[in-house]
Structure 1
Amino acid sequence: MPANKKYLSNNWQRFAKVTAGFFGGYIVTMTFHMALAYIFPHKNVIITSSFTSIILWVALIITAFIAKNGWKIWALYTVLSILFSVLIYLGNTYTPLN
């Protein structure tokens, strides 16, 4: 029995979901953990991020495939990665007084 056409997405939506899930999710995961490392500069953050990064990346992949529109997921992942990149920049340029 073939699938119902209303539940299938077109090729561009499928491409957007796959690329957003893998590449966009990876970029968001890495920028999030780098920002976390700048906010809390401890060894434990780096060690913990090696485990939680895989969990977060898989969750972002699943989120991309559940979404209706792949381009909106790309936009969301781009905004999140820019936000985390700004936090990294601010954490890198901020030098507290000793």
Structure 2
Amino acid sequence: MPANKKYLTPSPAQRFAKISAAILGGLIVAVMFHMALASWFDHVTVIITSTFSAFILWAVLMVVAFLGKNGWKIWGIYLLASLVLGAIFYFGNQTNPIV
């Protein structure tokens, strides 16, 4: 049974934005989240835990990317989230340097 046409994204640019945000953007946010956690908490424990939790977070972010109406807004949200997480990672490394 084919999908209802009114629920499909008509624009190829929007389709590309959603797919790339789901795969690349979700992966970047998931990795940056775990890097930010590792800079503030025990990095060995976070890295071991991230083997499973990063995949689960990535899958959730992939679904969220396809729920949005505009793929470029999803990209913006994911890039903003990764920049915030990158700042948390940076300040975490400045405060708690790994020897």
Q: Does 1:50 align with 2:59?
A: no
Shift of the alpha carbon at 1:4? 4.7
Map of 1:12 onto structure 2: 13
User: Which one-letter code corresponds to 2:64 in the other structure?
Assistant: T
Q: Distance in 2 between matches of 1:28 and 1:95?
A: 22
Unaligned runs of 5+ in 2: none
Runs of 5+ in structure 1 lacking a partner? none
- For the 8 Å contact 2:39–2:96, the answer to whether it is kept is no
Normalized against structure 2, the TM-score is what? 0.87
Q: How many residues align?
A: 96
Percent sequence identity over aligned pairs? 53
The alignment yields a C-alpha RMSD, in angstroms, of: 1.8
How far off its partner does 1:8 sit?
2.3
**Bigger Cα Rg:** 1
TM-score with structure 1 setting the length: 0.88
